[in-house]
Amino acid sequence: MSNAQTSVPPPTRTATTRNLGLIAILGSVVLALLGLFFTAEDVVQGSSVRIMYVHVPTAWVAYLAFVFTAVCSAGYLRGKKHSLNLDRLAGASAEVGVIFMGLTLVTGSLWGRLSWGTYWDWDPRLTTTVFLFVTYVGYLAVRGLGGTQQQRAKRSAIVALFAVIEIPLVHFSVLLWRSLHQEATVLRPNGDVRMDGLMLFSLVFGVAVFTVIFAWLVLHRNRVLALVDAVEMRGIDAALAARHAEGVPT
Amino acid sequence: MSASRIVGVARAVASKDLRIEWRSRVMTNQVLPFAAIVMVLFAFALDNDGILQRVAPGLVWMATLFASLVVVQRSFAVESADSAIDALRLAGVPSQGVYLGKVAALVVQLVVCEAVLAALALILYRVNVDRHGAVLLVTTCILGSLGIAALAAVYGGLSVADRGRETLLPLLLLPALAPVLIGATRATESAFGSDGARAAEGWPWVGLLAVFGAIFLFGGTLGFGPLTDE
Amino acid sequence: MAKDVGGFPRRWVCSVSLVSETSVVDVRDAVVLLGSFPALAEATLTIERGELVVVQGANGAGKTTLLRLCAGLVPLARGTARVMGHDVGSNRAAVRANVGFLGHANGLYADLTAGENLSFWSDVVGASRTEVAAAAHRMGLSERLLSTQVGRLSAGQKRRTALAVMAVRRATLWLLDEPHAGLDAPGRDEIDTLLRDAVAAGATVVVASHELERSASLATRRIEVVGGRIVESGGHS
């Protein structure tokens, strides 16, 4: 059963992945031009608003990644043959999600430094982000616990579903928590800006480009994880031979 | 699997756990002194009566979270010490029953712990509770403990039932318990009347605790078996 | 000779498809991994109803893992394993309903008395008080022992308590890992009697043991585990 699922994965050198990569590169260049040169400054925030074109897409990708992890995990648990490929997709997606969530934190606090004068503010969105970052670092730790590949898949799939339930719960409770302290944020810009047409387009464009980057990264990371699994199964053949030899008197 | 069998197993597991706690006195001799010293250390660290009085609710629940880590670890170390967890897996016992029994025993232990911590807050941090506040406080403790236990039993089963994974428990548990900490602290603030809060303001937070507890009790009932039985 | 696998006479236990329908244990080319180490390396074994099989082999040969596999406690990496016709991987609940397993650990709670342990286990498996009393009597657990905390019992007394728990479980396949360890001579005889009685009552018993003499008299069949595989070493006695 595991054998069939861990044979050497197909290469990623397909037309689809190559085109995805090209779109991601071109899109990034266009996004950089739009964000840095063509869009206007914000009336209140000035040039610092330009971080938004990176910050919002990274946050979007992180949430997308975590939801995708949950969907793959549910698919793994529901599926009759318990596809290890779905498990690896879930893992690859969570890895990319953690990296982008980290980028969200960095870009968010840089923006905070420029517009709030401080790297950190207990803004509900930023606070939720920290909790989810740690939660998914925990998920990745669970993936590394060891055991057989099916054990890993089942264990991490359940933890992934728990983690995705935590997203709205943590966000909602942090939101409630901050609503008691409104006076602190009323005086400051809270991140929402009045956008003209090009700014809005650039933001949506950025989200699209980052989604393509996400897809490209997950495809490649998934193949690497499949190769790691395949190497492990090869190692088992060698280990079996060594184990058999134990009985041979020397 | 019939519901009555699940309830029967849950009752057997819960009373077994509580009897072990009663017999071994780990709760009274180790966990409660640990929680108490955390409260005293907070007082040293903050070193200001006014501040202490204001942040007392948060400190009570921080100490509860720390103590819950110890209690949960103990609860599952009991199962793994002589591989009783294997015997439970083998006995064809419904895992939902084991889970619910573990949660019930944890809730009882956590409520005891919170009662002691709240009493310490009254004495050490000089907070006051009126009658309405006391009702709110008791409800908060029960529902807060339920939320902690519902999630902790799942992650405890995953991390402690097998040796060498204990360090994973705080990493998985603490971020996930953020809503409980927020909800229980706000409700307790209202009960203590910290910062002029009134008891009536606390009940919406109790609602948050109830939702959290219900969601993870349901999730844990489904997930505990597959997660611990590999 | 060195090319011959294991250097042993290659009489693998053959699994004829005709008998596999009724086999209590039917393990084929089973690979079980502990981490990346293959504790069982393509082991094949069939056991029929009413057999009392003694499993021998050096430390680390894979005896314990073989028993744990039959109990559905470890996952199968490759091959197949069926117990009572149920797949060990996909239908563990059905397998376990029939299996009693006693490993190196006793599975008892040290802070509870022997009696409390017995009644806890009978509560969770739904056995009656009379069955508990019968099992305790059978294993020679006196009132005094029953009211002593398990942590204060000797190794032999703990083992007898664990065996009483197993008797309460009414298993049809008994898997015992070194059940004689830590027992005095009368205790060992008691276990042998218990196992023979179980077989006479229709159970199937698999015992992993180091003790060649004792197992020779006990076993209806002896097998040996070598390097994670199974070699038949003695026929029916």
Q: Which residue has the tokens 């889970």?
A: B99
Residue B200: burial class (beta carbons within 10 Å; 0-12, 13-18, 19+)? exposed
The beta-carbon neighbor of B208 closest among A131, A137, A176 is A176
A117 touches chain C (CB under 8 A): no
- Is residue A203 over pLDDT 60? yes
Chain centre to alpha carbon of residue B45 = 25
Task: Quick: pLDDT tens for A26-52.
Answer: 999 999 998 888 887 777 777 777 888
Please report residues of A whose CB lies closer than 8 A to that of C231: 247
Please indicate whether, in this complex, the C-beta atoms of A148 and C33 are within 8 angstroms of each other.
yes
A15 touching B (Cβ < 8 Å): no
Between C46 and C13, the more confident residue is C46
**To the nearest whole angstrom, how far is the Cα of B200 from the nearest Cα of chain C?**
44
Contact list in B for residue C103 (CB cut-off 8 A) is 83, 86
Q: Among B42, B56, B47, which residue's Cα sits nearest to residue B114?
A: B56
| Residues B57 and B42: beta-carbon distance below 8 Å | no
Q: Average pLDDT, stretch A87-108? A: 95
B126 has a chain A CB within 8 A of its CB:
no
> Which are the contacts of C141, defined by CB distance < 8 A and separation ≥ 6?
C114, C118, C157, C160, C161, C164
Give me the pLDDT at residue C8, please.
35
The answer to whether residue A131 scores a pLDDT higher than 80 is yes
CB nearest C77 (choices: A236, A243, A244): A236
3-state per-residue secondary structure call for chain C: CCCCHHHCCCCCCCCCHHHHCCCCEEEEEEEEEECCEEEEEEEEEEECCCCEEEEECCCCCCHHHHHHHHCCCCCCCEEEEEECCEECCCCHHHHHHHEEEECCCCCCCCCCEHHHHHHHHHHHHCCCHHHHHHHHHHCCCCHHHHCCEHHHCCHHHHHHHHHHHHHHCCCCEEEEECCCCCCCHHHHHHHHHHHHHHHHCCCEEEEECCCHHHHHHHCCEEEEEECCEEEEEECCC
Total Cβ atoms within 10 A of residue B129: 18
Cβ-Cβ contacts under 8 Å, C61 against chain A:
246
The answer, yes or no, to whether residue B62 has pLDDT greater than 70, is yes
Query: Do residues C220 and C54 make contact, with C-beta atoms less than 8 angstroms apart?
Result: no
Q: 3-class DSSP state for residue A13?
A: coil
Which residue in the set C38, C226, C231 is minimally distant from A240, CB to CB? C38
The beta-carbon neighbor of B179 closest among A137, A154, A170 is: A170
pLDDT at C234: 58
Percentage of chain B lying above the pLDDT 70 cut:
97
Q: Are C41 and C66 in contact (CB under 8 A)?
A: no
Minimum distance, in Å, between the CA of residue C46 and any CA atom of chain A: 20
The tokens describing C14, both together, are 């053959």
pLDDT tens for each residue of A147-178: 788 888 999 999 999 999 998 888 888 888 77
Q: Is the Cβ of B226 closer than 8 Å to some Cβ of chain A?
A: yes
Q: How many domains does chain B have?
A: 1
Task: Give the count of Cβ contacts less than 8 A between chain B and C.
Answer: 73
Q: Which of A221, A224, A218, A231 is nearest to A7 (CA)?
A: A231
- Interface check A177 vs B, CB under 8 A: yes
Q: Is B23 touching C (CB cutoff 8 A)? A: yes
**Is the separation of the CB atoms in A229 and A84 below 8 Å?**
yes
Q: CA B85, CA B161: separation in Å to the nearest integer?
A: 7
Q: What is the pLDDT of residue A143?
A: 92
pLDDT of A180 reads 60
Least CB–CB distance from B215: residue in A145, A165, A173: A165
Q: Is B158 on the interface with A (CB under 8 A)?
A: yes
The count of CB pairs under 8 A between chains A and C is 58
| Residue C189 CB coordination number (10 Å) | 13
For residues C219 and C237, give the distance between their C-alpha atoms in angstroms, rounded to a whole number: 7
Picking from C69, C109, C153 by the largest number of B CB atoms within 10 A of its own CB, the best residue to mutate is C109
Rounded-to-integer distance, Cα A138 and Cα B39, Å: 28
Which residues from C are below 8 Å from B19, CB to CB?
Answer: 111-112, 116
Angle at C64 between CA A241 and CA C76, to 5 degrees: 60
Partner chains of A (3+ C-beta pairs under 8 Å): B, C
With 80 as the cut, is the pLDDT of residue B35 above it? yes
Work out the minimum CA distance from C100 to partner chain B, whole angstroms.
7
Q: Count the Cβ atoms, other than its own, within 10 Å of residue C18.
A: 7
pLDDT of residue A176: 81
Domains of chain C and any CATH numbers: 5-108+170-234 (3.40.50.300)
CA-to-CA dists, residue C69 to A153, A237, B183, C26, C226, angstroms:
20, 20, 46, 11, 16
What backbone phi and psi angles, to 5 degrees, belong to A230? -65, -40
Q: How many CB pairs under 8 A join A and B?
A: 74
Cβ–Cβ contact A246 with C under 8 A: yes
The distance of B151 to chain C (nearest Cα, Å) reads 23
Q: Tokens representing A35?
A: 């964000």
On whether the pTM is more than 0.80, the answer is yes
Residue B1 has pLDDT above 70, yes or no: no
Among A170, A177, A181, the strongest candidate for a mutation testing the B interface, having the largest count of B CBs within 10 A, is A177
Tokens found for residue B121: 């807050």
CB contact under 8 A, B90 and C99: yes
What is the band of C16 on the pLDDT scale with cuts at 50, 70, 90? very low
What are B97-156's pLDDT values in tens digits? 999 999 999 999 999 999 999 999 888 888 888 888 889 999 999 999 999 999 999 999
**A238 against B62, higher pLDDT:** B62
Lowest mean pLDDT among A11-15, A57-61, B65-69, B94-98: A11-15
Q: Is the ipTM of this complex over 0.95?
A: no
CB contacts, 8 Å: C78 with chain A: 2-3
Phi, psi of C197 (to 5 degrees): -60, -40
| C83 strand-pairing partners | C25, C86
Per-residue pLDDT tens digits for C60-99: 888 889 999 998 888 888 888 998 888 887 778 788 878 8
Which residues from B are below 8 Å from A152, CB to CB?
none
Q: State mean pLDDT over B28-34.
A: 90
Instruction: Give the range of the structural domain holding residue B222, as residue numbers without chain letter.
Output: 3-228
Q: Does the distance separating the beta carbons of C5 and A244 come in below 8 Å?
A: yes
